[in-house]
């Protein structure tokens, strides 16, 4: 029997989750929530490493984070389409784990895969609640889909405090040894493999946290109106 998840984080590339929302996931794991991860592709078009290596790194990152499960749907990196086949692949994962909340790629970003994956994932979350779409599983629709912010400095609709989890977030990111800064490798440099890139991640977290009164935070966007029952729930 599959574990019932509170949160399922979905990323189009292995390391999307770690870079953008792993602090939030670490915080909720600490709160006792069941967290799972799903990558849509193996990231095989990346300049450094290979799809197979990134699968190994993704599992290492999962263990560091303490997430319950990690799946890879092996869609075509760069060439996946908003198709019935791919929607059903995501539906099957949603119905398997029955998450209350899904975290998905940025609504708009420098990498064109991110925005396309955001739409694909959000649509799959809705269609997963339709009984007449058959996957041999019970229908399930998550209560919420939140889009983590990635490379572009989008204005967040809300931020999550990760002040106690920044070091662990960096550890999760650095599990992807082929992709990020390593002074001992002689691989081709990319925009994310420089030492300065990690400084950017830290600075971005500090920027998201500043106006909410947190030392570090991660930002999220929502495609619907957020509701609260009390004004005192808002930081």
Widest distance between CA atoms in the chain: 54
**Amino acid 77: pLDDT:** 96
What pLDDT does residue 185 have? Answer: 76
Which CATH class name applies to 7-233?
A: alpha beta
Residue 194 is predicted with a pLDDT of 83
The reported pLDDT for the residue numbered 128 is: 98
Burial annotation 103-122 (CB, 10 A radius, 16+ → b, else e): bbbbbebebebbbbbbebbb
* Integer Cα distance of 218 and 216 in angstroms: 7
Tens of each residue's pLDDT in the chain, 235 residues: 589 999 999 999 999 999 999 999 999 999 999 999 999 999 999 888 788 999 999 999 999 999 999 999 999 999 999 999 999 999 999 999 999 999 999 999 999 999 999 999 999 999 999 999 999 999 999 999 999 999 999 999 999 999 999 999 999 999 998 888 777 777 777 878 888 899 999 999 999 999 999 999 999 999 999 999 999 988 8
Q: Where are the domains of the chain?
A: 7-233
Q: Using DSSP bridges, classify how beta strands 69-75 and 35-41 pair: parallel, antiparallel or unpaired.
A: parallel
Phi/psi-derived region of residue 74, left when phi > 0, alpha when psi is between -120 and 50, beta in every other case: left
Q: Residue 1: its pLDDT value, please?
A: 58
Q: Does an H or E element contain 144, and which?
A: strand 144-148
Of 38, 118, 129, 133, give the one whose Cα is nearest residue 84: 133
* Structure confidence at residue 49 (pLDDT): 78
What are the beta bridge partners of residue 38? 10, 71
């Amino acid at each position: 029997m599959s574990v019932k998840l509170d949160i399922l984080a979905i990323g189009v590339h292995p390391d999307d989750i770690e870079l953008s929302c792993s602090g939030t996931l670490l915080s909720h794991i600490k709160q006792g929530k069941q967290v799972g991860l799903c990558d849509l592709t193996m990231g095989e078009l990346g300049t450094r490493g290979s799809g197979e290596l990134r699968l190994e790194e993704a599992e290492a990152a999962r263990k560091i984070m303490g997430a319950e499960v990690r799946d890879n749907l092996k869609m075509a990196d760069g060439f996946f389409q908003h198709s019935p086949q791919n929607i059903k692949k995501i539906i099957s994962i949603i119905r398997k784990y029955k998450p209350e909340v899904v975290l998905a790629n940025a609504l708009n970003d420098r990498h064109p895969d991110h925005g396309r994956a955001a739409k694909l994932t959000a649509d799959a979350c809705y269609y997963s609640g339709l009984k007449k779409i058959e996957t041999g599983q019970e229908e399930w629709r998550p209560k919420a889909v939140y889009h983590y912010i990635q490379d572009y400095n989008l204005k967040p609709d809300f931020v999550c405090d990760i002040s106690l989890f920044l070091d662990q977030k960096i550890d999760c990111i650095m599990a992807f040894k082929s992709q990020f800064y390593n002074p001992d490798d002689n691989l081709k440099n990319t925009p994310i493999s420089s030492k300065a890139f990690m400084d950017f991640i830290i600075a971005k977290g500090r920027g998201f946290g500043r106006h909410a009164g947190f030392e570090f935070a991660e930002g999220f966007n929502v495609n619907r109106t957020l509701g609260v029952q009390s004004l005192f729930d808002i930081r």
